[in-house]
Amino acid sequence: MRRPDTSDAPAAVDADAANGDFHPFERIEGDAASGLLLICDHASNALPARYGTLGLPPAELERHIGYDIGGAGVTRALASALDCPAVLSHFSRLLIDPNRGEDDPTLVMRLSDGAIVPGNRHADAAEIDYRLDHFHRPYHRAIAAEIARMNAAGVAPAIFSVHSFTPVWRGSPRPWHVALLWDADPRLARPLIEGLEAEGDLIVGDNEPYDGALKNDCLYRHGTATGLAHALIEIRQDLIADLDGQIAWADRLARLLPGILANGDLHERQLFGSRTGPVTPLDLPELTAA
């Protein structure tokens, strides 16, 4: 595989950019008819200049609390391998978490894995609304626009969200190499779990170390509520901390995903509901097929 650019510089300029040259998302070009859209919610630990380091020592932003280590590299390498589009956030989850609903109490974290975030301590409703308008919402608009572009090409995309998790949490080692998180729609998650297990060298989690049923999170918004097939992968961070590991995991996924995506069922809008409770279907422009 060609070694992708894994720098934090955005690949495309966002018309909603705030704070000078800071752009809330990165868009990677890909074939609109590929049937797969990659997203990476926690791709970057970047912060706009006005926020400094949110009062944290810079080393704290290099930890998992700042971003999903290795996630962006895997996303870029996989997009290159499959010629599919991708949308990556370009701001730290500590600024505002794009994988949380706008009403989620953890949207702006004041304490994360033992670290007090001074720059968030006094974030009031007006400040949170500013961050929603300039960072969170532009990222989600970018995802919606990519879905609309792919739908216009005649293929409803499956959405694949790339995340990573820490090898140890609160002193307890996590045994899984990789896991798939999903809510009620099994179309992408179940066959990928089976494919990864068949590789023979992995401990594969099913809704580990977190549950994929989270009301109003990114995949709930763009998948559960719209009927598009979707799944979230969690890869253990020590396996993708460097470029070689990121490419190896992208290679592995690039072997497995095309066969799964060949199932036409993954490219139909189907509402499976949610384990979190009743779902109000969303009638969004990106669902209108050409």
Q: What is the reported pLDDT for 20?
A: 58
Print burial letters for 180-196: b (CB count within 10 Å at least 16), e (below 16): bbbbebebbbebbbebb
Q: What is the reported pLDDT for 283?
A: 55
Q: What is the reported pLDDT for 18?
A: 42
Q: What is the reported pLDDT for 112?
A: 81
Lookup: tokens for 93: 């989850």
pLDDT tens-place string over residues 218-274: 999 999 999 999 999 999 999 999 999 999 999 999 999 999 999 999 999 999 999
Q: What is the reported pLDDT for 16?
A: 38
Cis status of the peptide bond prior to 157, with omega within 30 of 0: no
**pTM metric for this prediction:** 0.91
* DSSP count for the chain of H helices, then E strands: 7, 11
Positions in the chain whose pLDDT score sits under 50: 1-19, 285-290
Q: What is the reported pLDDT for 196?
A: 98
Q: What is the reported pLDDT for 287?
A: 45
Q: What is the reported pLDDT for 21?
A: 78
Q: What is the reported pLDDT for 9?
A: 36
Cis status of the peptide bond prior to 209, with omega within 30 of 0: yes
Which run of H or of E encompasses 161?
A: strand 158-165
Q: What is the reported pLDDT for 208?
A: 97
Q: Look up residue 112 and give its amino acid.
A: S
